[in-house]
Every structure is written in C-alpha cells, then in structure tokens.
Amino acid sequence: MGDVPGPSSSSSSGSAGPSKSSGQLSNLPELHRFVTGHNTSGQAIVQKQNPFTWEPYDNDNLAFSVAYTTSQFPPDLNSDADLSAHESVVSSGRLGLVNPKGSVLRCVDFAPGYACAMHRTQSLDYGIVIEGSIEMVLDGGERYRMKRGDVAVQRATQHQWVNTSETEWARMMFVLQDCKPLVVEGKVMGEDLGGTGGLPPSGN
C-alpha cells in the first residue's frame, strides 16, 4: 500500500524528493503513515501504510495532510471501528480544522514568507515544529519564534503562523482536539477562520 519501506528494509530521509502524485508542494522530506493493528494471533502488525497526501490552499502557499482522525473519546478500536470512522470523515469532504467530538492529526507546510490568517479554533491543540522555524503571533500582539522541536499548546486562542524565512519552507504537526465551548468574560470564544478561504467550518 504505497511506495514505502517494508518491515525489514531501511530508508533514507526522502533524498529523491517528494512524489508528485502526493500533491506535496514543498521540497521537504516526504512523510509516510504507518497504522498498526493485530493479526489473528494478537500480534502487532502494520495494517496500513502510505505516503502522506496533501491538499493545497491559499494560492499554493499552504498545504495540509490529514494523517488520522478520531470521532469519539475514548476511541473504539474494536473491529477497526476507528479506521472506518476516519475513512468516512475524510471521504465526506466536510472535515474542518476540528473534528467534532474527536481529534485530527494534521501536518501543515508553510511556504517561504507566508503568513496565514489570524484564526481561532474551538479546540485544544498541540503544534510541533518539525522542519524550519515559524513565528507564532497572538492577537494581543505577542510574537514568539519557534524552532524545530518547539511545541505550542493552543487553548482556543486567536493566533497566526508566519514563516519568516524568505527561502525555506516550514512544517508543523498538529493534534487538534475538540473541547467544550470556552467563555472568557462572558464572551463565547468560538471558531473564527479569519476569512481563510476553502476551509469548511468545523461545526463543533
């Protein structure tokens, strides 16, 4: 399932460049997804494996790859219920930034010099820089430069991501988890996509 190394082979970090069929825009290493499961003896196996596939946004300055989703907590792994739910969510074409009552594992590539719109999701998010560096800008004016390995814990706040490099792509991995509506000083801090085109509302 996909052009990825098997269990007994080794792999370099994508020196041949990303596969054009994946839709990847950046020149960063190609990524692969490995989903584990069990054989009939109860031993662990890799049940699904494939390269990440990408969707471009904002005039090819931004690309998303959704590696996995869950639709309930705790997830039900019996009879591959979670796999079926993930495939249903992705194929529906209605997945927003957040999956109501669940989670989204999403990789995001940012083009050199690109700044996304200021936005907020109704979710608790873990954002990890895995390639390059990125600036996190908050609506109160605070700015923080994040380097590879740094983590942002976004708690339903208005924020923006800015790739300040004029030559290098940046990449982040996000886990977005639905949360209860947040109220601050009597105001409900709901989702605000900031005019970002092409993204459906999350509906949570």
Would you state the pLDDT for residue 20?
Answer: 62
Q: What is the pLDDT of residues 55-86, one digit of tens each?
A: 999 999 999 999 999 999 999 999 999 999 99
Name all domains of the chain by residue range, CATH numbers in brackets: 23-188 (2.60.120.10)
44, 48, 58, 51: which is closest to 20 by C-alpha? 51
pLDDT higher than 70, residue 48: yes
pLDDT, position 195: 72
Predicted confidence (pLDDT) at residue 1 exceeds the cutoff of 50: no
Q: Which pLDDT band holds residue 6 (cuts at 50, 70, 90)?
A: low
Span between the terminal Cα atoms of the chain, in Å: 33
User: Is 50 exceeded by the pLDDT of residue 11?
Assistant: no
Longest dimension (CA), the chain: 57
Question: Encoding tokens for residue 119?
Answer: 């936005």
pLDDT of residue 19: 58
Among the ranges given (12-21, 101-110, 174-183), the one the predictor scored with the smallest mean pLDDT: 12-21
The CB density around residue 110, as the number of other CB atoms within 10 Å, is 25
Cα–Cα dist 172/107, whole Å: 6
Let me know how many helices (H) and strands (E) the chain has, helices first: 1, 13
